Every structure is written in C-alpha cells, then in structure tokens.
Amino acid sequence: MAVTLKEVAAKAGVSRSAVSRTFTAGASVSAKTRSKVEEAARELGYTPSLIARSLATNRTELIGLVANNFQNPIFLEVFDLYTQALQERGLRPLIVNLTNETDPDASVQMLRQYRVDGVVVATSTLPVDFANAFAGANVPVVHAFGRHGEASKIPVVGIDNKACGALAAETLLQRNYRSIAVLGGPQSATSTIDRIAGFKDRMSAAGQPVADIRYASNYSYYAGREAMHSLLSEKSVDVVFCGDDLICMGAMDAARSRGLKIPGDIGFLGFNDMDMASWESYALTTIRQPTGDIIQASIDLISAMVSKPDGQHPSRLFDCTVVERKTLKPVSTS
Amino acid sequence: MAVTLKEVAAKAGVSRSAVSRTFTAGASVSAKTRSKVEEAARELGYTPSLIARSLATNRTELIGLVANNFQNPIFLEVFDLYTQALQERGLRPLIVNLTNETDPDASVQMLRQYRVDGVVVATSTLPVDFANAFAGANVPVVHAFGRHGEASKIPVVGIDNKACGALAAETLLQRNYRSIAVLGGPQSATSTIDRIAGFKDRMSAAGQPVADIRYASNYSYYAGREAMHSLLSEKSVDVVFCGDDLICMGAMDAARSRGLKIPGDIGFLGFNDMDMASWESYALTTIRQPTGDIIQASIDLISAMVSKPDGQHPSRLFDCTVVERKTLKPVSTS
DNA sequence: TCCATGTTTGCAACCGGTTGCAAACGCGTA
DNA sequence: TACGCGTTTGCAACCGGTTGCAAACATGGA
C-alpha cells in the first residue's frame, strides 16, 4: 500500500542502503546520490516507516506517559507541556489513562508491547509494581510529581512537599491567623501526607495548634466543597490551607454559600497555581508549583536515561513560591 | 534485550509459528502446545513485540488524535473519554498537539511515519491539507466536532451548529429578552460562524434584531473577559449568548467587576456544558453538547473505516439541549 | 487394517527498514 | 601511469514477528 524503500531505490537507480542512508542523519552519502534519492522519494510520496526502523534499531522514540488525574484541569497544562516538549525532541507520547478501573498490569503490558523507550509516570502516587515491572524489562522510568527519598531506585522530578507544606504554614503564620485548618487532597496520596507533615512541623515549631485536618476524597471541586461543608458544620475557622486549587475553589464556594466573606470572614490558601486560580471569582492566593520546570526536567531526565542507561540520573526537586492574590488578609506588620 | 519468540519456542520445544499462533486470537493450536508455550512464555517473561507484529500485519492499532485546544478544560474531558474508549477497544491514541507554531505538515508526516491505522481530528477547524494528506496515503480520517455538509469527503461527528444557534435564540426569546448580544468564539472557526448564522436566522424569524455581535480571540476565560469589557464599555445589553462556557465565565466576571448582577441586570447563556459550568460561582445556564456521544461515535466510525475501508461511512450529528441553571431569568409565562 | 477427512505443525518467505563489511570509486601525489 | 588513502556504495544478514502451504498427525468409518 504505502511506498517502500525498495521502490524509491529502483526509481532512483541506487541500492536500498543508499536510500536508507539518505534518511538517517549522519550517514555517509554523496551529494549526487542524496539528491537523486530525494527527488525519487518526493515524486513517489515516500514516508519512511518508523515501525520498520524501530524494529531494526530497537528504538521506538515512544515515551509512555502514565497519568490518572484526568479530572483535574492542572493536568491539561501538564499534557500540553508534555506533548509539546516531547514533540520538540522528536519523541512521541503514548498515553495511558490509569483510571481506577483499568488494572495497572494491563497498562504495563501494553507499554512493553509497544517497546516504549522510557516511561514518565505523572501521578503523585506510583503503584509500586510499576517500578518493578519496568525495571524487570530494563525500561527507564521517571516519576514526575512524585515523592522524593523513597527507597525505590526510580528518580523523581518534583517538589519537596514537606518544604512546601512548611512554606504554607509560614505564610499563614505571618498573617497572624489563629484558627488554622487544613483541607488536604486524598489521604492516601504521598503528596498530601508530606505536605501536611511539613505544615504541622512548622506550626508546632511556632507553638501553634492546627485547628482541624481533614481530607477531600479526590482532587475535585466537588470533593472540596463537600469536605468544607462538613468542616463548617462542625466548627468555624479563620483560614484553610487546601491541598489543591481545585479543592480550594470548591471549599470557597462552600464557605460563600454559607454567607462567609473571603478574605474578611475566612481566608484560603491553595496549592498548584493552576490557570483558573487567577480567575476573578476566586483570585486565589496559592503556593505555586513550577509545573513547566518539572515537566521539562522530567523529559530531560528520561532522555538521558534512554541514551545513557548506565549513567547517574539523580532526582531533581524544585522550589515552590507563594503567589499573592486576594484570598488571604495582608501580612501583619505588627 | 527483550525475550523473543525464538527463545520461547526453543524453551517450549516447538516452532516459532506455534508460539506466534498461541498469541494470535483465532489461530489453530492444540491445547497441549498452547499450554507448553504459555508456560515457557511466563517463565521467560515474554511480551510479544507489537512493533514486529505491526510490520508483518500492516496494522498498528494506533489512532492519531489531533487537537489544538489544549487550553480549554473541555478538552480534558475529551481526552479522558478518548483514551478510555480507545483502550477499551485495544487501540492506542497517538496524540498530536497542533499548536499554532508546529506546522501541520510535520504532524501529518509523523502520523504517517508511525503508520497509524486512522486519524481522529478533534478541532472545530480542520486544516484542509490534512484531509488530502491522509486521503493521499489512504489513511481513514474522522472529523470530530467538525462542520457538517462540507464538500470534503471526510465524515464528521458532531452537532448541527446552526440548529444549536437557533436553539440558543429560541431560549432567549422565550424569556422576553430584548437587547440581545452574541459573544462568539474565534471569528474564523466554522462552529462560530454556523452557530451565529443559526442564531441570527431564528432572531430575524421572530422579527428581533441582534444588539451586538463580537468575537473572542480564542477559547479562553481571558479572551471572554476582555471582549466583554469592550462590549460593556460601548453599550449595555440584557443578555449575552457566548460561544463557549469558558468565554462565558470570563464575560460573567467582566460584568460582575462592573457591578452588574447576574441574572438581575444581565443574563448569560453558555455553550458546551463543561464540568465547571455547574460550579456555584457561575451556575451557568448553557447549551449542552453531548461530548461523550460524539466521542463514542467517532471511535465507532473510525474503527469501522479501518476494518471496512470500502463501506459506507456516513456523518453523524447529535442534538443539543438546554441545561437550566442560574444565569438567565425564568421563562416568561405571559 | 486402510482410507478419507479434518486438525495441527513446521518450513520458509515476507513485512520495511538498518548496518558491518568489503569492494569500488575518486582524487592527489610521486 | 601507478599508487595510496579516504569516501561512497552495494551485498547480505538481521530485527521479531506472521502466514500460505504442504507435510504430519489424529480420528473415525468401512
């Protein structure tokens, strides 16, 4: 059906190797042959088959991208950046939607079947079997947005969640908030656990209690709203540190629907700085996670691991920063 | 590196064909051979190479998914549904991020290089060359969310934008709105053109003028907000029909920042019914586009085209419906 | 026991490229 | 003109599977 190497070779009056070489960078071809081949290829509308090439070279230029947060808009940014950054490097993402139903084994299996050169897992929690499954098959894996310092050998690119939790506490303490609550992401997520740990450490260092800690059932607006309603029906607090902007927006709407003014009656501090955080109806003060840097670094890392499997490939952590908008009262200058 | 057919065959004491056949559905293998092979494969951790198989069978099970709306959260829903639906059918998406910078030719080229079985284009405007490029290579293409009734041979799955525009006009007329404005998506998008055409037809059928028509520069919150500010600085209107929910949210925030109450002072009607439309801070009354149905149908269609290239493959259109929330005043019962 | 029939098996060619190797070539110099 | 050296070229084997074909095998009936 499609035009093949052989046909181009015949038309150009050269060998198949010659054609192959004109299409592989850095191979030795004379200018004359090259132009003959290129002309023939153009006339025939030849497109080299990456499938065949992959088979011969044992490289597919395919990177598995595993994710499970298809509900959270932050992931759209992640997607956008990944697909573009990979495209720029001549790589292609093969996406796995790791929803709760599909079992991880099947996904591992399918990525191995396609002989992906490497895998980037972009979920805060990495199923442990994943690591082993790919390690067993000698496929490099990078864990983006993952937990640092795990026993696992898989390099991580992300943030220091404990430090970010501490930064959040610091931010609230500076403003003299007294009754401080935490509304985290799913309780089982390592990112949640670490952030809250960092948060509590900083609070107790300042001799302050944490008024309430609870968890949204998932990273969604609705989960945030529901958890916040449940919190407010039990007690009143001055400020809430949320584990995710989306959760925070849900929480804000819950507070507003109970007649509370933001930031007058209650303050909110988000996490991520997703695009929507700047929308006027929310104008969320939030801890910014440098998504772009993390993604760029994780692609750099996986590329390096693919080309130098035996090299050193250390984890990389980035700093978070506070983005000031309108959901917290100003820093106390007393 | 990876375990191959040959090694499994050797271990199981059978021919390579026998191994191949135990891994291809519907092939003739005795129960005894099959179990020998399966055991050997398990012990060796064998995973058949889809690359090699694709080369031999001329089928990759890869579907190109081309999109350019990586900014719009509606696309996350689209993504989620596509990846899942494809996974269920044993197909895999190969995603192309058609940003303004990347030239379409390169994307066509890369999808052809990977020998995708088919392509789903999920953007409202399909670059015309796309069609020809794939048609030339005999690759089936489906245009999801596209314009129906074009001269092009490419089947479309989507909605009847003119009818939806008329539905929007009808909805506003029923509520006795008088000074009615339209804030469309990008002016060049065919979906915008058609919706507005349908809208105007219905309005003039009722003998009503359209107070203002303008366009957001892209499908974003910010573009909507900016366009709305520009509208309100020139005139005041009773209600605005927006070409997209996201644009509508931006427009709502612009109106609110000027002190207008919704729906008291001004009404809004959105389009799409994306997840966020139901958030309390917006509670958008909107025209719902059945995204899930469209995606499912487009996958059905592309699958059919792949397996029966010569069959009839008609376009499919779905109906839109109005989702009532809180941004319009009630239907007038006079 | 022999034959006809249907099933299972292995052989070998093929899918469309890549690449090590040695032969052929081009070119400057003696 | 002959020689040596670096470049370009074609040959042929290989990547890891599939599959048409014919031989080998099993099964049941005569």
Q: In this model, does residue B125 exceed pLDDT 80?
A: no
pLDDT for B171 beyond 70: yes
Give nucleotides in strand C with any atom < 7 A to a protein C-beta: 7-12, 14-20
Q: Counting one residue from A and one from B, how many pairs have CB atoms under 8 Å apart?
A: 142
For the CA of B28 and the C1' of C9, the distance in angstroms is 10
Q: Does the CB of B4 fall within 7 Å of any strand D atom?
A: yes
Neighbours of B173 (CB within 10 A): 17
Q: Is residue B59's beta carbon less than 7 angstroms from any atom in nucleic acid strand D?
A: no
pLDDT over 70 (residue B93) = yes
Among the partner residues B45, B72, B83, nearest to A136 by beta-carbon distance: B45
Mean pLDDT score, B112-128: 88
Residue nearest to nucleotide D12 (CA to C1'): A17
Closest CA to B219 of B157, B270, B258, B280: B270
By the 8 A CB rule, do A105 and A122 touch?
Answer: no
Residue B71 has a CB neighbour count (10 Å cut-off) of: 19
Chosen from B92, B246, B262 to mutate, greatest number of chain A CBs within 10 A? B92
Q: What is the pLDDT of residues A189-228, one digit of tens each?
A: 889 999 999 999 999 999 999 999 999 999 999 999 999 9
> What's chain B's length in residues?
334
A92 and B94: CB-CB below 8 Å?
A: yes
Q: Give the closest-approach CA distance of A241 to chain B in angstroms.
A: 20
Q: Write phi, then psi, for B13 (nearest 5 degrees).
A: 70, 35
What is the percent of chain B where pLDDT is above 70?
A: 98
Q: Smallest CA–CA separation between A262 and chain B, in Å? A: 13
Q: Which nt has its C1' nearest the CA of A57?
A: C18
Concatenated DSSP letters of B282-312 = T---EEEP-HHHHHHHHHHHHHHHHH-TTS-
Q: What is the mean pLDDT of residues B37-56?
A: 95
Q: Report if CB A113 to strand D is under 7 Å.
A: no
Say yes or no for a CB contact (<8 Å) between A113 and B50: yes
Sheet of A321-323: strands edge to edge? Answer: A212-215, A180-184, A239-242, A267-272, A286-288, A321-323
Of B2, B115, B136, the CB nearest to A49: B115
Lowest mean pLDDT, pick from A144-148, A161-165, A180-184:
A144-148
CA dihedral (B18, B24, B29, B35) positive or negative:
positive
Q: pLDDT per residue over A13-62, tens digit each? A: 999 999 999 999 888 899 999 999 999 999 999 999 999 999 999 999 99
Q: Is the CB of A51 under 7 A from strand D?
A: no
**Strand D lies under 7 A from the Cβ of residue B30:** no
Residue-wise pLDDT for A285-330, tens only, equals: 999 999 999 999 999 999 999 999 888 999 999 999 999 999 999 9
CA distance B303 to chain A (A): 19
* Residues A285/A323, Cβ–Cβ less than 8 Å: yes
| Nearest-CA distance B97 → chain A (Å) | 6
For B47-81, what is each residue's pLDDT tens digit?
A: 999 999 999 999 999 999 999 888 888 888 899 99
Rg (chain B; Cα; Å): 25
**Which spans in A212-274 are helix H?**
221-234, 245-257
What pLDDT does residue B177 have?
Answer: 96
Which nucleotide lies nearest residue A21, CA to C1'? C18
**Chain D positions with any atom < 7 A from a protein CB:** 7-12, 14-20
**Averaged over B236-240, what is the pLDDT?**
97
**Dihedral over alpha carbons B233, B238, B242, B245 (to 10 degrees):** 100
Mean pLDDT of chain B: 93
Using a CB-CB distance cutoff of 8 angstroms, which residues of chain B are in contact with residue A80? 70-71, 97
Identity of the residue in B95, B249, B280 whose CB atom sits nearest the CB atom of A253: B280
- Please answer yes or no on whether B87 and A97 come within 8 Å at the CB atom: yes
Nearest to A93 among B72, B87, B95 (CB): B95
- What is the length of chain A? 334
Please tell me the predicted confidence (pLDDT) of residue A101. 65
The pLDDT of residue B81 is 92
* High-pLDDT (> 70) share of chain A, %: 98
CA distances from A232 to A186, A225, A235, A236, A239 (A): 19, 11, 5, 6, 11
